[in-house]
Amino acid sequence: MRDSIQRYYKTRQKTEHLCEPLEPEDFLPQASSFVSPPKWHLAHTSWFFEELILKPFLPEYRVFDERYSFLFNSYFNSLGDRIERANRGLISRPRVDEIFAYRHYIDHHMSIIFEKYYNQEIAELVRLGINHEQQHQELLITDLKYTFSFNPIYPKYSDQHYLPGANKSADWISIEEGVYEIGHKGEGFCYDNEKGRHRVFLENFEISEALVTYGEYIDFIDDGGYSNPRFWLDDGWHWNNQNGMKSPLYWKKIDNDWHHYTLSGLKKIDKNKICAHLSFYEAAAYAFWAECRLPTEFEWEVASPKLNWGEVWEWMNSAYLPYPNFEIAKGAAGEYNGKFMINTMVMRGSSRATAQNHSRNTYRNFFHPSSQWQFSGIRLAK
Give the pLDDT confidence score for residue 17 in this predicted structure: 98
Average pLDDT for residues 159-163, to the nearest whole number? Answer: 94
Query: Exposed, middle or buried, 60 (CB in 10 Å: 0-12/13-18/19+)?
Result: exposed
* pLDDT tens digits for range 320-375: 999 998 988 777 777 788 899 999 999 999 999 999 999 999 999 999 999 999 99
Q: pLDDT band for position 308 (50/70/90)?
A: very high
Give the pLDDT confidence score for residue 303 in this predicted structure: 98
Cβ(292)–Cβ(382) below 8 Å:
yes
Indicate the residue type of 167. Answer: N
Q: pLDDT band for position 77 (50/70/90)?
A: confident
CA dihedral defined by 363, 367, 373, 374, rounded to 10 degrees? 0
Q: Give the rounded percent of residues in the chain with a pLDDT score beyond 90.
A: 93
Give the pLDDT confidence score for residue 78 in this predicted structure: 82
CA dihedral defined by 162, 298, 308, 342, rounded to 10 degrees? 0
Give the pLDDT confidence score for residue 327 in this predicted structure: 85
Cβ(209)–Cβ(222) below 8 Å:
no
- Closest to 381 measured CA to CA, from 302, 312, 291, 306: 291
Q: What is the mean pLDDT of the chain?
A: 96
Cβ(103)–Cβ(89) below 8 Å:
no
Average pLDDT for residues 183-187, to the nearest whole number? Answer: 93
Give the pLDDT confidence score for residue 335 in this predicted structure: 76
Q: Give the rounded percent of residues in the chain with a pLDDT score beyond 70.
A: 100
Is 12 a residue whose pLDDT tops 70? yes
Task: Please state which architecture CATH assigns to domain 172-381.
Answer: Alpha-Beta Complex (3.90)
Cα dist from 369 to 146, 187, 220, 240, 279, whole Å = 17, 32, 19, 12, 6
pTM, 2 dp: 0.96
- Closest to 292 measured CA to CA, from 351, 211, 190: 211
Q: pLDDT band for position 92 (50/70/90)?
A: very high
CA dihedral defined by 202, 204, 206, 207, rounded to 10 degrees? 10
Sheet-wide strand order for 345-349: 365-367, 345-349, 313-319, 376-377
Q: How far apart are CA 144 and CA 151, in angstroms?
A: 11
Is 1 a residue whose pLDDT tops 70? no
Class of the domain covering 2-148: mainly alpha
Average pLDDT for residues 204-228, to the nearest whole number? Answer: 98
Sequence-distant contacts of 22-28: CB under 8 A, at least 24 apart: 22/144, 22/157, 24/96, 26/144, 27/96, 28/89, 28/91, 28/92
Q: How far apart are CA 309 and CA 307, in angstroms?
A: 6
Q: Domain ranges in the chain? A: 2-148, 172-381
Is 286 a residue whose pLDDT tops 90? yes
Give the number of residues written for the chain: 382
* pLDDT tens digits for range 113-154: 999 999 999 999 999 999 999 999 999 999 999 999 999 999
